[in-house]
Amino acid sequence: MSCEELLLARLRARGLRLTPQRELVLAALHHLEGAATAEEIYARVHAVSASVDISTVYRTLELFQEFQLVSSFDPGDGKRRYEHLGVEAPHHHLVCRVCGQVIPISHGDVRPLAAYLAETYGFVVDEGDLTISGLCAPCHAAQTNAAVPSDSMTPDYQTQQVET
More confident call, 71 vs 17: 17
Go through 88-106 and write b for each residue having 16 or more CB atoms within 10 A of its CB, e for each that does not: eeebbbbbbeeeebbeeee
Give span(s): CATH 3.30.1490.190, the chain.
Answer: 89-137
Helices 38-48, 20-30: axis angle to 10 degrees equals 120
CA dihedral 156, 157, 158, 164 (to 10 degrees): 140
Can you list the pairs that 75-83 forms with residues at least 24 positions away whose Cβ atoms lie under 8 Å? Answer: 75/100, 75/101, 75/102, 76/100, 76/133, 79/37, 80/37, 80/38, 81/35, 81/36, 81/37, 82/29, 82/35, 82/36, 82/37, 82/38, 82/41, 83/34, 83/35, 83/36
Q: Find all residues with CB under 8 Å of 144, minimum gap 6, and list them.
A: none
Whether the per-residue pLDDT at 155 is higher than 70: the answer is no
pLDDT bucket at 66, cuts 50 / 70 / 90: confident
More confident call, 31 vs 150: 31
pLDDT bucket at 61, cuts 50 / 70 / 90: very high
Cα–Cα distance list, 123 to 57, 68, 119 (Å): 32, 20, 8
On average, the pLDDT of the chain sits at 82
Give span(s): CATH 1.10.10.10, the chain.
Answer: 1-88
Average pLDDT over residues 19-45: 91
What's the fold here for domain 1-88? Arc Repressor Mutant, subunit A (1.10.10)
Query: DSSP character for 153?
Result: G
Q: Select 89-137's CATH number: 3.80.30.20, 3.90.1150.10, 3.40.50.10490, 3.30.1490.190.
A: 3.30.1490.190
Judge if pTM exceeds 0.75: no
pLDDT in tens, 69-113: 888 888 778 889 998 876 555 667 788 888 878 787 877 888 898
